[in-house]
A = this chain, B = another copy of it.
Amino acid sequence: MVGRFQPIHNGHIQAIKQILSETMELVVVVGSAQLSHTLENPLTAGERVYMLHEAISSEGLDLSRTFIITIPDIQFNSVWPAHVRSYAPPFDVVYTSNPLVTTLFEEVGVKVRHPTMYDREECSGTNIRRLMLAGDSRWTKLVPASVAAVLEELQVTQRLRSISKSYEHSNFQPRN
Residues of A within 8 A of B (CB): 2-4, 31-38, 44-47, 49-50, 53, 57, 63-64, 67-70, 72-83, 85-90, 96-104, 108-109, 120, 124-126, 159, 161-163, 165-166, 169-175
Copy number of this protein in the oligomer?
6
A5 to chain B, nearest CB (A): 9
A143 to chain B, nearest CB (A): 16
A-B contact pairs, 7 of them (CB 8 A): A31-B174, A33-B87, A34-B76, A35-B75, A98-B171, A100-B163, A101-B172
CB neighbours of A163 from chain B (8 A): 99-100, 103
Chain B residues with CB under 8 A of A165 = 99-100
Instruction: Identify the interface centre among A37, A96, A102: most chain B CB within 10 Å of its CB.
Output: A37
Given A79-B82, A99-B165, 14 new contacts (CB under 8 A) = A36-B77, A37-B78, A46-B69, A46-B85, A49-B67, A50-B89, A57-B64, A77-B175, A78-B85, A82-B108, A98-B172, A99-B162, A103-B159, A120-B170
